Each structure stands twice: as C-alpha cells, then as structure tokens.
Structure 1
C-alpha cells in the first residue's frame, strides 16, 4: 500500500481550504460478473477497450478532485499493480493512494477501515470504480456545503437522473430494479428509498408520519440512482458506530431515513444534460458501452485520449478504427462499432454494434452483432456471435455459434460447429458448489470458491488465475471449459441482467402476467388502499397508453438514431427506412408517438452535425434537413395528439439534450407548420395546455406568442 503523510484534523473555520478528496471502492462486493471476476477484478474489465477504473479516475480528475483513496480487496494485487504502472500516479495535483484489505466483505467494512486510517479531512466524493460520468461537481458541491452551513445533520447528497423504467419488467435501461423515491420538492430532501419494492401487491407502503410531517411529498419511479455521493465526514463515523451497516443503500441510506432520533438527512441533486451511470450488471455494461460509443459521455469517448489509451479514429456512422488493423475489402463494419489495434478481419465477415479488442483474429464469413470481443481472441471461419461477451484469449473454432446472452470467460475454447445455448456462462474454472449470502460477497483471493484444488490453478504473468481442465465435451469436440448451471432462482436474472435484448416471447409472457395481476387487483373494485399506501405512478396513470409509454426505453431512441444515420450516410430510400423503423417499433412495443419523437430527435441532431457559429447558420441547416426528412417524420404523425407529443419532445430537446435550439424554438415551430408537418390545431392545442402551467414551463410558449396569435387570427382574416 502506498502510504500517505499523516496530519491532524483542523478546525471548521479552515474547512473550506481543504482539498477535495474522494473514496473509490475498487471492489464491487458482488458476484454479478462471475465467472469473469473469479479471475480478474471488475474494475479492470475493459469497457470499450479501457479498464472501468480509468473512466472513474478520469472523471474525478476532471471534476477537480485532488486526492483519491482507492480501496482494494478482491484481487487487490492486480489493482495495485495496474495503478502503479499507469499514468494515475504521475499526474500533478491528483494524488492516488491505494488502501488494501484482505478481510473486508462489504462497503461498510471498507468505510470503517478508511475511518480508522484518519485520512479524510472534510467533505468527500464516494463512488465505485465502475462509475462513468462527465458531470460537473461544482453545483452539487455548492448545494451540499450551503446545506451543511444551515444544518449540520445534512450529511449526504445523492446524485440522481431521470430514467423511466419499463412498466412490464419493472427495471431500468441499466437492468436495475425499478427505484421508488419520495422527495421533498422544495428542499430536495430524500424521504423514502426503495429499490426492492413488492409490486405484486400493486401498492407501496409509506409511513403515515412521512406524509404528516412534510407539506409536500413527490413519489418518483422515474429516477436513476447514479451512485455518486457527496458525503460529510460524519458518514464514515456513522458506519463505524453501526456495524450492521454493510450495504450503502440497503442498510445505510434506509437506516438513516428510518432513524428519527439522530435526525441525519440525505438530499438529492438531479442532473439533466450530464451523464452518470454505474456498471452494475451485464445489461448496464452493454447500455453504458453503447452510450460511450454514441458519445453521450464526451470527452470520455474512444477517439479522445484520457487514460493512456490509444485513441481510435472516428469515421462515419459512429465507427471507430485503430490505425493498425487489417481488414479484408469484402468485410463489412457497421455503425457504432470499434476495432482495436492489431486486429485482423477476414473475407465477407460482418461486424455491427460491437466492440473488438486488440490483437484479435477474425476469420472469413464471421457474423458479430451487438457483442464485446476482448483482446487476443481467435474466431475461426463461419462463426456467428450475437449479443455476447468474449473475454481475453478465447478461441472459437470454425462454425461455432454463440446465442444471445453468452459469456465466455478467459481462455475458453469452443469446439467446431458447437452451439453455445443462450445465456450460458463458460469458464475454465468449475462452478462453486456453494453460493454466498444474498449480499453476493466476493472474497479476496477467490476464497469463496470451494472444492477448487490449488494444484489445478496456474498463476499467469498478468495476475490472472486459471485452471487446466481436460478437453471437455461440454463445449464441443476439442473444446475446453465448464458450462455453469443456472442457480435456483437465477432464470429471472438471465434475461433481466443479460446483454441480450429481451425476446418478444418474454415480453408477451410478461404482458400476460401483468394483465393477470391487474385482473386480480380489480376483483375487489371499489376497495381503497389502506392509509399510508400510495400506488406507483404507472398505476395512478391507469391507462394503456401510459403503460406503453413507461415501457419505452432510451435504447429505442438510440436504435432509431442509428438507423436514421445509416439511412442518411448510405442514401437509403425513405420507404426502406420506414420498414426498418416499423420493425423496431414492433420489437420494442412502442407507440407511433414514440417513433415520431425519436425520429424528430434524430433529425434535429443531424442538423447540428454541420458546423455553425450563429443561430442563423443553424436555422438554415435545420430548414434543409427538415425539408429532406419531413416526410419521414410526417408518416408517424397520424393524430393531433402525436403532433403535440413532438412539440413537447422539442421542448425537452431545447432544455436538455440540444440546447442550441432553445433560441430558435418559435422559428422551427413555424417551419414545421409551413412544411405541413404540424397542424394549426395541434399547435394551438399545445398552447392551450400550457396556459395553466408554471411560469418555468412556459418559456417556449412565451417565445411563440406572436406566431400562435397569428395562427388564431389568420382564419378570421381569410374570411
């Protein structure tokens, strides 16, 4: 462990002069990435070819943090060795210190040990080493410090972001369970937190005192916990005083919310245009990888050097290629794909929406779609790989097929023509015969792997640990590896946490189950829930349209954008684009209005790709783009309600994602009317609905007053 110079605690009047510190937990204390994490720590797994921990450290350094304590437990030697050989130990005004433990089995244990070291001297940022963000900490820190001055019990600020869950799966686009938060809308104080709600009963139970003691309470199921916390030093002492605090959310946050004696408070800070997410499971690994490829995380993107990586070159359609690759002329690399240094791609192979690592050999007639191929992988001729993760050193022999959701751990060999079943996990290490507790603790040095003889394990130069099973028919002729069986109760996690898209059959099954639950609930029609129970937002809406809208995932919008950009760059005919978009709409089970909103966003984003320096230049480009693609948008606007949805989508775009359009709102609205994309009735109806809104929600209505007044008076003048 790298030691730090000691120092005494200073008085509160000098607290403002403290450097900003952070605690980074380099151990997930979970098994969600097994079998991979039996051999390598999660924070060193590649995320778009860069170790996860580099994203976390790069963000902390850019956000003004000057001292980071990296807590290492499982595979601690690998993490420490990596950091010592990286650039992070040599950056001015950014001090990285490792703290090693061999017996901590939870985040609570880690924070108690850090408290004992007496290294935290003021407010600090708490994250895990699998966090990706580009947010600024300035405003969140300012809010936290201002609250602390007024109320010393305000010990934590949690960063949250809007994210709608699916009404069918009750999970977010990151694969996490639907999260319910009760927040005071005036102070942003967190009053209730539940990420394991029992939704079968159709209700949530809230303490009556929560409603009685607070003049206003907003219950949200549309917030994403970013797992970025700004903490006061008291947080560490609270963990030390309460040894039953193990899990950060399940124990600490819920414990403080229920403790009405000490009076400690937690607040939230919501981000809008910035990015923040944590790689918690394989589905979030896939989602965040796509977000990085689509540049939502800028400047932490593949073509920008930020961690000693070798930047790739960004080409059209979101393709990234390293300088040293060998690609056959007949090979096709599709949109949003990255190919790393030293990789060879054979004749007639097709790769799309995938990340290929360094030093890979890909044969001829290979199909790779939506997958992550790490470094030094060999894929022989005729293989098909869809929505899978393939770790370093794997060999996939000729004609083999990986069905969606497959995980191949390090150095596995798949035999010729063998079809690896969907959701299979294959490893050179046999599956542990005993599972740990529900905390899914992953102990250091693989001590939780039972019945694994040390004589069958080999320490490799890079710190990995592998075994030497004999050739096994489990993975085909000449294949080597163990197929892990699904543990009891694990079938649910297969599709929920997999990188594979949820199948149409599963969606139908979930829809039927949801309808059955609804029928059961309505048998007792007229019976009100008991006092203190509030129904989730989706049931308050109580309409089929609202249910479908809740199910819509951000990934649908990204898929539409990718399809649209390909159509633009490859000059695809509009009729063919409509066929592709209809296929997407059916597979995601969304409405025409969702399609229209996603297309409108894609069109507006395309307009910003042409460089501009003034609003006039941006407007001229927008006129050109809408003139060309307005017919595609109009195809999905079959009712006034759908047109109103597009106007509301435009408001959202101006406020959050493409703020450059904010001063042009009224002009673009007029343009959409002139091009017969939006009707007079839709625009006037939108304006009427806005009349009763808060002043803060009437920004664009006021900007459009002249145009709307003209619309209202024009018919009279015509008469």
Structure 2
C-alpha cells in the first residue's frame, strides 16, 4: 500500500499538502485481437478465471494506494458502466471511481486528449488498461519518479518492465507479444531506445551514434517485458494534446519522445523482480495469465481470496479450485489446476484438466475437457471432446461434437451433433463489420435501440460448414437481449443447402484462402502444399485462377498491415519481405495479363476499403510487383489504358503511379533503341 502522509511537518514544502494519487484506466483496448467475442462484449468484461478483467485492474489500483480512478469507456461503454454500478467499485470507501464516456474516440491518444480537456488530473498519475493484472507495490516506483522529477522537470514518465521468462521454442515471450528491444542506461535507468517487432530476425538494430556518445554505458535488452503500467507526470496529457499524431501509447507517443531532440523529455524504467505484472493482449496471453492466476503467481489476486462479490472458491490439492455447490458424479475425474464454478454439474466418466469451468454449466457424461476455458451457462452433452478451446456464455454443444485445438465459440453458438469444428476456427452469430471508423472494438449494434439486424452466422475460417437454424427441439431454448434464435453449426447434408449467392460464395472463398495462408505462415508450410490446398478450395467453390490470385494477394497484404509498424517506410519493408517470400505462390495464379489486371483492381479496392493504410504506398508496391516479375509491364500499361476513360474519382491511383508509368515507358524506349 502507498503510505499516506501523516501529521508530521515535512522538510519538503511539497509534502505539506497531500495530493491524492490518481489513475487513468482505459477500458477500451482500441484493437480487434479478441474478435469475434468483442463484437458482443467489451474485452475488459471478459472473464479471466471467472472474474471480469477490469476487476483485477481496479483491485490492484486500490491495493497500490490509488485514491481516484477515471475509467475511460468507449466500445460497449454502457456494459462497462453497468458492471461498475452493480459492483463494489462505485461505492468503495478507499477509492473513488468515475467513468468518462465517449463514442467517437478511435485511439488511446484521443482518449487522453479528451481527459486533458476535462481537467480532472492534478498531479502524477498511473496509466493502465483494463486488462492489466498485477500485485506489485507502487511505493518504490513512485518514489523514484518523484525524485527524478524534482531534479529534472523533463522526466515525465516511468515505465514498469520485467524480465521475460525464457522460452525454449522462440525468442518471443510466453505472452505471445512481439519481440521487444530496449536500450537502457544501467546507471540512470533512462530508456533510450524502444522497438517491438513481430519478426525478431527482420533486419538489424540501428542505434544513433549520439546514444553511445552521450551515455558512458548502455544496456541492450531483448528479454524485457513491457508491463504497460506507466507512472506519468501531468505534462504527458498536454503532450498528447500538442501532437495529434500521437495515437498509440508505444508506437507513436513513446517512440516520438525518444527521437525528439528539441523538447528533451525523458522516459525512465522501473524493473520489478519478485512481483507480477502482465497485460492480456491476445488469446495466448489470456491463456498464460489464466494459468499464472491458477498457479498463484498473482497472489493475493487468486480465486480463493479475491472473489469480487462472486461465490468464494475453495482451494484443494493439485491446484483444484471449486465452489461449494457444484455437482460432480462419483467417477468424474478432475485433474490439476482446474476451477469449477458455482452451480456447475459434471456427469459420469467425464475428465476435466487444466481448465476453467464457469458458473451454471451442464457437462454430460464421457466428456473430455483439456486446457480449455468454458464460461457461464454452457451446455456440453454426452461424449463431447474439447482441447485448448474458448467457449463463451450460452453455447450448446450437442452429443459427440468435437472442438479441435484453438477453436473459439462466441456467445450462444450451437454445435450440431457429432460435428467436428476444425482447429483454430472462430464461430460467431455476429458477422465482422464491413465498415468502421477505426481499428477499435466498436460496438456492433446500439443496444439502446432494443433491436439489431443480425446477419447469417459466418463460416469458420478453416473449413466450409453449413450454418442452419437450430432444430425444432431447440426452438423453446431461452434467448436474451437482441440476439435472434440460436443457430447451429452442422455438417452440410446436401449441396442445395449451401448458400448460393455469388457474394456469399466469394466471401466464404476469400476467408478460406486467407485461413489457409495464415496457417502456412504460422506452420512454415511450403508453397507447393499451399497451392494444393488452394486448388482444392478452387474446385470446391468453382473459382477461377484470378479469384485465387486476388484472394492470396489480399491475404498477403492484410498480414503486412496487421504486422506492427510505426511508419509507411516500415510498412513498405514488411510488404516487400512478404511479397518476396510468397512470390512463387502469387505468380502461380497469374498465367496471363487478365489475371494480373484482376490483382491490380483488387489492390485498388483494398486501398480504398479494407486496407486503406496501403493507399499512400500504391505506386511503390506496384513498382515492387513489377521488379519481382509478378506484374508485367504490358499489364500496367493495359490497366492505364482502361483507367484513362474512367471517371476522375477512379483515377486516384493512376495519378499516383504516373511517374512510375512514365519511367516504364522511357525504360522500354531505351531498351528498344539499344536493341536496334
């Protein structure tokens, strides 16, 4: 706990007046990594070992001595506010919790600018996101921050870092985050360089010579974990207001300060050793942090002590937690590091290990659950098998159905009898939004209206599966909120039931190709094997070579955009590497100029719709495709001819490529003259 100031007269005038320690908690991750789940519920309310993530963050802030917290809500804001209202936090005697709501904020930078305008922060503050789990004490870090600030007013921020646990598989951390490189002055703890990379082997680390000149010693680290806990001076908020390019806390703000030689602001680090701190950034870190909680690395934030108002858990042998009112069949087997929530029943001969089972679940007989997360009110009938899966509230798995590793079932999905859901599928009743204003997890529908149009449930990413309305015997199953009657995933019984509109077929085909390509990247599958899989999909969907080329090109470019980067030049390098790596695959489906033009038109469409970030790089990427012999000169000139007769609005990318096309013509003329 942070020590409160007493009545003793301090030598320091600053200590004469007590200033409440404040915190800003961002209850929106401004990311889409937990889709499709977050189309229906905000990430901070997703259960982590049975408790909403935001409760861990608030519990830590209270234990660390924070007296006033401002919770910034954007996506699904009404759900977050409702949760806080019915929980203990709005009435907490030691910590005041206030919400700030916004519906048009698209980044963390925008959120901090809005908070600055409210003029509610009056001193140093703690900045975290609502998916942070920690048990660290803030006393030492706060003291270091204050002492530095007294000596140097430019010391505006202290970041909490921790050495990562080593991984025998990759250089990436066990949390599944990008490889992080930092340069720190070991004497002053000042942060001098920061770079996170999805690919740790991409290029070399380049340090400015001035860093070596200005610092007598330098510590280069690639084994540090950024805990995303920051102690900030109030000037940090004004810095965001002064620079509207600051959107992301790390990629923009932090890196921007590190390279700004004019203002001279400084960032320092505080390394924790025995304490715990981590951010739930993706599904891998969700799994890792859940295991850390079960194994009590986060003490006292563990299920048998910190219940946040839910039923108290009892800890048994082998790390097994259980509520007092569960129903276990006599021969059900519960393995180590497992939690079973209130009101859950488990039938005979069922086996559960390394899993979290929520409240009110009904698990039948001969069920096998391993390394999975089953949320609340889930029904799993006899003979089902689940391994390393996430199953959200209200799901029904019919008898003998199977979830292969990596499957995510969003709310109220129904899996048909004996159906096998392919590995890494994500199944939801909600369709991915086509248009949105940002990359944040925007609410899919305005729940205040009481109604919403829910489209047909999307097909899983790795296998075409028919989506049909639930059978008649499920028609009286209760449903709540704005969702329509549940739909179930069942094997197709005949071809006539497959959705037959051209738009649907094209959409499903592109998703299948994208899933195939993503698996090829993750598992290092060779081009020839990818071609075999894509050809199989091509036959199944009756597609042309141009369709395959367009879908693969889209998959490559989407991966490039989703790879972390801080500038257009860095994005261009990522694109160049990916296109070079998958050149053979792309070229295979481009037998003629017609297919190549289709890819160019697809590229134009992407730059104006799905991957607008590529728009400024259109000409450069076109040049790259030409230099790698993927797109021929004749193709580019034919595309130009077609575009000359188009409306002005359709000539945006033609105008951008004018210089390159002119260069092509000149190069061709010079080549012809040389031949003559």
Does the TM-score normalized on the shorter chain lie above 0.5? yes
Pair 1:219–1:32, CA change in 2 (3 A): same
Pair 1:244–1:467, CA change in 2 (3 A): farther
CA distance in 1, matches of 2:83, 2:519: 32
Indicate the SS of the match to 1:268.
strand
CA distance in 1, matches of 2:186, 2:49: 38
| Partner of residue 180, structure 2 | 179
CA distance in 1, matches of 2:179, 2:335: 33
CA distance in 1, matches of 2:287, 2:142: 30
CA distance in 1, matches of 2:445, 2:219: 44
| Partner of residue 147, structure 1 | 148
On the 8 A contact 1:71/1:110 being kept in 2, the answer is: yes
On the 8 A contact 1:22/1:68 being kept in 2, the answer is: yes
Deviation at 1:454, TM superposition (A): 3.2
| Partner of residue 123, structure 1 | 124
Deviations 1:16-44 (A, max 9, x none): 62110000000011100000000000000
CA distance in 1, matches of 2:432, 2:287: 24
Where do 1:166-315 residues align within 5 Å?
166=167, 169-196=170-197, 199-315=200-316
Deviation at 1:205, TM superposition (A): 1.4
Deviation at 1:183, TM superposition (A): 0.3
1:466 to 475, 478, 483: 483
Deviations 1:396-415 (A, max 9, x none): 01001101100000000000
CA distance in 2, matches of 1:223, 1:238: 26
Deviations 1:629-683 (A, max 9, x none): xxxxxxxxxxxxxxxxxxxxxxxxxxxxxxxxxxxxxxxxxxxxxxxxxxxxxxx
CA distance in 1, matches of 2:327, 2:385: 20
Deviation at 1:468, TM superposition (A): 4.8
Pair 1:471–1:307, CA change in 2 (3 A): closer
Deviation at 1:446, TM superposition (A): 4.9
| Partner of residue 701, structure 1 | none
| Partner of residue 334, structure 1 | 335
Pair 1:303–1:267, CA change in 2 (3 A): same
On the 8 A contact 1:429/1:466 being kept in 2, the answer is: no
CA distance in 2, matches of 1:205, 1:382: 56
CA distance in 1, matches of 2:75, 2:386: 31
Structure 1 residue 443 and structure 2 residue 460: aligned? no
Deviations 1:596-634 (A, max 9, x none): xxxxxxxxxxxxxxxxxxxxxxxxxxxxxxxxxxxxxxx
Indicate the SS of the match to 2:100.
strand
CA distance in 1, matches of 2:267, 2:378: 46
CA distance in 2, matches of 1:298, 1:384: 32
Indicate the SS of the match to 2:38.
helix
Indicate the SS of the match to 2:483.
strand
On the 8 A contact 1:257/1:265 being kept in 2, the answer is: yes
Deviation at 1:218, TM superposition (A): 0.7
Deviation at 1:215, TM superposition (A): 1.0
CA distance in 1, matches of 2:373, 2:382: 18
CA distance in 2, matches of 1:492, 1:218: 39
Where do 1:608-627 residues align within 5 Å?
none
| Partner of residue 633, structure 2 | none
Deviations 1:400-434 (A, max 9, x none): 11011000000000001111111000001123346
Deviation at 1:495, TM superposition (A): 10
Greater relative CO (CA pairs within 8 A, separation 6+): 1
**TM-align CA RMSD:** 3.2
Deviation at 1:445, TM superposition (A): 5.1
| Partner of residue 385, structure 1 | 386
On the 8 A contact 1:398/1:417 being kept in 2, the answer is: yes
Deviation at 1:435, TM superposition (A): 8.0
Structure 1 residue 455 and structure 2 residue 472: aligned? no
On the 8 A contact 1:456/1:468 being kept in 2, the answer is: no
Pair 1:267–1:89, CA change in 2 (3 A): same
Deviation at 1:311, TM superposition (A): 1.8
Deviations 1:545-581 (A, max 9, x none): xxxxxxxxxxxxxxxxxxxxxxxxxxxxxxxxxxxxx
Where do 1:494-573 residues align within 5 Å?
none
On the 8 A contact 1:457/1:465 being kept in 2, the answer is: no
| Partner of residue 351, structure 1 | 352
Indicate the SS of the match to 2:54.
helix
Deviation at 1:443, TM superposition (A): 2.6
Deviation at 1:491, TM superposition (A): 6.7
CA distance in 1, matches of 2:498, 2:301: 37
CA distance in 1, matches of 2:218, 2:331: 60
CA distance in 1, matches of 2:192, 2:479: 47
Provide TM-score, normalisation by structure 2. 0.67
| Partner of residue 61, structure 1 | 62
On the 8 A contact 1:385/1:401 being kept in 2, the answer is: yes
Pair 1:471–1:349, CA change in 2 (3 A): closer
Pair 1:409–1:176, CA change in 2 (3 A): same
Pair 1:503–1:197, CA change in 2 (3 A): closer
Pair 1:446–1:215, CA change in 2 (3 A): farther
| Partner of residue 111, structure 1 | 112
CA distance in 1, matches of 2:498, 2:289: 31
Q: Which runs of 5+ in 1 are unaligned?
A: 1-10, 448-452, 497-501, 510-719
Indicate the SS of the match to 1:235.
helix
Deviation at 1:475, TM superposition (A): 8.6
| Partner of residue 162, structure 1 | 163
CA distance in 1, matches of 2:524, 2:338: 25
On the 8 A contact 2:419/2:489 being kept in 1, the answer is: no
| Partner of residue 48, structure 2 | 47
Deviations 1:71-107 (A, max 9, x none): 0000000000110111111111210000000000100
CA distance in 2, matches of 1:148, 1:491: 52
On the 8 A contact 2:348/2:365 being kept in 1, the answer is: yes
CA distance in 2, matches of 1:360, 1:102: 35
Indicate the SS of the match to 1:172.
coil
CA distance in 2, matches of 1:15, 1:32: 46
On the 8 A contact 2:39/2:442 being kept in 1, the answer is: no
CA distance in 2, matches of 1:133, 1:464: 34
Pair 1:465–1:20, CA change in 2 (3 A): farther
| Partner of residue 25, structure 1 | 26
Deviations 1:28-79 (A, max 9, x none): 1110000000000000000000000000000000110000000000000000
Where do 1:77-116 residues align within 5 Å?
77-116=78-117
Indicate the SS of the match to 2:179.
coil
